[in-house]
Amino acid sequence: MTGPTVRVIPCLDVDRGRVVKGVNFVGIRDAGDPVELAARYDEQGADELVFLDITASSDDRATTVEMARAVAEQVFIPFTIGGGIRSVDDARRLLRAGADKVSINSAAVARPELVSEISAEFGAQCCVVAIDPRRSDATPSGFELFVKGGREATGVDAVEFARLVVSLGAGEIMVNSIDRDGTRDGFDIEMTRAISDAVDVPVIASGGVGGVEDFAPGATEAGATGLLAASIFHFGESTVAEVKRALAVAGVRVRPPE
Amino acid sequence: MTAPLLAVLDYGIGNLHSAHQSFNHVGADARLTADPALIADADAVVLPGVGHFGACMRALRASGLDDIAVAAAADDRPFIGICVGMQLLYEDSTEAPGVAGLGILPGTVDRIDTGGDASLVLPQMQWNELDLVGPGVDDPLLDGLEASWMYFVHSYAGPADPDLVTSTCAYGGAVTASVRRGSTWATQFHPEKSARAGLRLLANFVDLARDGVSPGVDDAVAATEASAS
């Protein structure tokens, strides 16, 4: 039997339409240009891209829509935009500009119906819900939902919340472990497994990757079919192609790099 | 070379934009349009679609483009349905019982049977490898694309009709990935999101739009292969 093909997904932070956090490719002309960076990741064999919009002011978010349009005109792999999406109109602007999916986070916690609204309007396939759980004694599963970049507890059980948003129409769940974020200790296997066992939609593991060997357990042990990382790609430590070769060696099915 | 005019049918659903952008990238003059005159003038017609079969079909009927799509698929111009745009070509779908499809292709679109493999969730949201089958081996749309990888997002798929299916992918069992009947083609995957392999397929379609579909093309290919062997 042929198992799932696992997707390798670089994540880029974007502020006012520009990529931030020192991307370090050889020979890059403009390290802040989302189109050029997206094209580089496409060449390396990235299966999808995620742009995380960290623009502080909603007045400046029009630049994110313009960025989506520019990327869609030049880069022909699926991409998701997350951050700052609070309404169906926000989602519509990004999807009409050419984004394939939108990822909602805090807004889904504040108002879960937003998930069903976006899903009903555009289809579950473009509605990703990103959650930021952290270990806690406050909730039954031991994983509590946090917001505001992991700073603010909600008292909501992360596993229950994942079930809820899937029932409302989320097509995919991105699990960003606050416990592992930035640690370089590898994906949070226990937390990601708890979510992937609870829902019947694709799960993306995020947070904690320190090297190419950290990817395979996200699929084989945690049950994720999307594996997301940021810094190891941006700082030129590893290429997507290297990650895919390591995954293939570990027996994980991937689209081979060209 | 002249850029052939492609009419990408705009019937008012979500994200239909990447299809025409990617066709333009490979040398077409693709227009997202609902204008019957422009569609009539086009060298080829594209029916995109994402989301729910019922929602897409209702939107297509409400736009009045359903009859235009049926007529365009019936004439000699190349026609391609993409993703849910492929599913709309069939008679109906178990995703939306009671909603009639365009009926250009025979049969019912049905939910993918993953064969009980718990590791395979729906939708299939991933890249998968094409296996060219039956008429697909000589299909000009799939020229150069044996064993290529394409991006799929779907829970439903067209029937395994051996006369029409040109490629499959493995997801539990063999899932219908593309079909052809005469000058009508369709892909379940998203060529416009499938990197270089997808752009190759779109370029093949633009070639068909530019050169027209010769009714004897299959026979000519078969004759060439017979003489070579």
User: pLDDT of B66-120, one tens digit each?
Assistant: 999 999 999 999 999 999 999 999 999 999 999 999 999 999 999 999 998 888 9
Q: Are strands A18-20 and B131-132 parallel, antiparallel or unpaired?
A: unpaired
B200 near A CB under 8 A: no
Per the DSSP assignment, residues forming a β-bridge with B186 are B81, B179
Lowest-pLDDT range of A99-113, A162-176, A186-200, A230-244: A230-244
Nearest CA in chain B to A75: B195
Specify the pLDDT at position B91: 98
Q: Specify the pTM.
A: 0.93
Contact criterion met (CB < 8 Å) for B51 and A122: yes
| Domains, chain B, ordered by start | 5-224 (3.40.50.880)
Q: How many interchain CB pairs under 8 A, A with B? A: 99
Task: State the nearest Cα–Cα gap between B183 and chain A, in angstroms.
Answer: 26
In angstroms, the CA B89 to CA B69 distance is 9
Specify the pLDDT at position A55: 82
Contact criterion met (CB < 8 Å) for A258 and B196: yes
**Residue B121 with chain A: CB contacts under 8 Å:** 4, 200-202, 225
The identity of residue A138, as a single letter, is A
**Residue A4 with chain B: CB contacts under 8 Å:** 119-121, 126
Contact criterion met (CB < 8 Å) for B15 and A126: yes
* CB A95 within 8 Å of CB A85: no
ipTM value, please give it.
0.93
Per the DSSP assignment, residues forming a β-bridge with A18 are A15
Nearest CA in chain A to B125: A202
Nearest CA in chain B to A170: B123
Nearest CA in chain B to A224: B119
Task: State the nearest Cα–Cα gap between A27 and chain B, in angstroms.
Answer: 22
In angstroms, the CA A150 to CA A55 distance is 17
Proportion of chain A above pLDDT 70, given as a percent: 96
Question: What residues have CB less than 8 Å from B216, skipping those under 6 apart?
Answer: none
B119 near A CB under 8 A: yes
Specify the pLDDT at position B222: 47
- The residues of B annotated with a catalytic role in the active site are 83, 190, 192
Specify the pLDDT at position B45: 98
In this prediction, the residues of chain B whose per-residue pLDDT falls under 50 are: 216-217, 219-229
**Residue B193 with chain A: CB contacts under 8 Å:** 76-78, 100
Q: Give the pLDDT confidence of A160-188 residue by residue, as tens digits.
A: 999 999 999 999 999 999 999 989 999 99
Distances in Å between the Cα of B74 and the Cα atoms of A85, B68, B78, B100, B177 are: 43, 10, 10, 18, 22
DSSP states of A116-180 as a string? HHHHHHH-GGGEEEEEEEEE-SSSTTSEEEEETTTTEEEEEEHHHHHHHHHHTT-SEEEEE-TTT
Closest residue by Cα to residue B51 from A193, A60, A118, A157: A118
Specify the pLDDT at position B220: 47
Contact criterion met (CB < 8 Å) for B194 and A47: no
Task: State the nearest Cα–Cα gap between B203 and chain A, in angstroms.
Answer: 13
Specify the pLDDT at position A28: 67
Specify the pLDDT at position B226: 47
Contact criterion met (CB < 8 Å) for A96 and B17: yes
**Residue B192 with chain A: CB contacts under 8 Å:** 76
Is A13 annotated as catalytic? yes
Question: What residues have CB less than 8 Å from B159, skipping those under 6 apart?
Answer: B90, B106, B107, B108, B109, B110, B176
End-to-end CA distance of chain A: 25
Contact criterion met (CB < 8 Å) for A1 and B172: yes
Q: Which of B22, B125, B126 sits opposite A76 (nearest CB)?
A: B22
Contact criterion met (CB < 8 Å) for B21 and A72: yes
Q: What is the mean pLDDT of chain A?
A: 92
In angstroms, the CA A210 to CA B51 distance is 36
**Residue A47 with chain B: CB contacts under 8 Å:** 126-127, 151
* CB B15 within 8 Å of CB A126: yes
Q: For tokens 């810094």, what's the residue? A: A231
